[in-house]
């Protein structure tokens, strides 16, 4: 006697959806790990910001050894004084930014150089709700680059992909545009001027800057020596 074969019951749509999300999450983890490991050794060819920049994207990758230490120290002074101390996130800066924004003062972020690098390389700039949507994968990618890249590589990538002007990306393109020289030869004052415009590269001027940008640049230039003296760059320059 032949027994009838029973067809297993079809999964309910919540089960199918949960399985889909699980598979999607696994593929995201695998793909993100692969990209991070590749870019540990290979120059980042393009970012989403460059790709969608209507002004084009002038860039020229340079290893960290070909970029003046003045610029690395300038961005530490301007953007992330605890770059060598934290593991990707500066909780104190985040708390201060939250309190400042809650009080209705001028909007100011608490992102570290590591977070900015993760955002620039793997994600998008965004505004409004898309900016908040980006935060979860930003945390993940920040963790990955801190784990697999290390501080010197993070700084190298940051200085090569950061927007340094309209249609201009990276230290070398910025140095050539504003000063007609290699990024390796930037003086303290020149490095400070570039660092001063990084939060708003399309709105702040490097050459002929006045008002806040000029004062901010002078402040950063004065801090560069302190960054070296106090070892705030010790994870990059031994």
DSSP state of 44: P
Chain-centroid distance of CA 17 in Å reads: 33
Write down the pTM of the prediction. 0.88
pLDDT(109) > 70: no
- pLDDT for 84-103, tens place per residue? 999 999 888 777 766 666 66
- Assign residue 66 a region (left: φ > 0; alpha: ψ between -120 and 50; beta: otherwise): alpha
Mean pLDDT on 115-120 = 96
Q: Residue 13 corresponds to which tokens in the numbers above?
A: 């749509």
pLDDT(107) > 70: no
Q: Map residue 192 onto helix, strand or coil.
A: helix
Residue 141 · residue 123 · CB < 8 Å: yes
- pLDDT for 17-42, tens place per residue? 788 788 888 999 999 999 999 999 99
Chain-centroid distance of CA 193 in Å reads: 19
pLDDT(132) > 80: no
Q: How many Cβ atoms from other residues are within 10 Å of residue 232's Cβ?
A: 20
- Assign residue 231 a region (left: φ > 0; alpha: ψ between -120 and 50; beta: otherwise): left
* CATH fold for the domain made of 56-229: Penicillin binding protein transpeptidase fold (1.10.3810)
Q: Residue 128 corresponds to which tokens in the numbers above?
A: 């409004």
């Amino acid at each position: 006697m032949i027994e009838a074969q029973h067809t297993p019951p079809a999964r309910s749509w919540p089960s199918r959806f949960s399985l889909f999300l699980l598979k999607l999450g696994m593929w995201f983890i695998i793909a993100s790990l692969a990209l991070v490991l590749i870019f540990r050794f290979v120059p980042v060819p393009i970012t989403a910001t460059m790709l969608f920049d209507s002004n084009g994207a002038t860039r020229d990758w340079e290893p960290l050894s070909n970029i003046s230490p003045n610029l690395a120290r300038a961005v530490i002074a301007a953007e992330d004084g605890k770059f060598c101390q934290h593991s990707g996130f500066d909780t104190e800066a985040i708390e201060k930014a939250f309190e400042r924004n809650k009080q209705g003062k001028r909007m100011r972020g608490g992102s570290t150089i590591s977070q900015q690098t993760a955002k620039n390389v793997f994600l998008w700039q965004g505004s409004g709700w898309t900016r908040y949507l980006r935060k979860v994968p930003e945390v993940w990618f920040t963790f990955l680059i801190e784990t697999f890249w290390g501080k010197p590589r993070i700084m190298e990538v940051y200085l090569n992909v950061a927007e340094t002007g309209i249609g201009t990306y990276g230290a070398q393109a910025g140095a050539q545009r504003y000063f007609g020289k290699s990024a390796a030869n930037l003086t303290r004052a020149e490095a400070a001027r570039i660092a001063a415009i990084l939060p708003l590269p399309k709105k702040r001027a490097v050459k002929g800057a006045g008002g806040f940008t000029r004062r901010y640049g002078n402040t950063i230039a004065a801090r560069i020596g302190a960054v070296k003296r106090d070892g705030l760059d010790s994870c990059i320059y031994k």
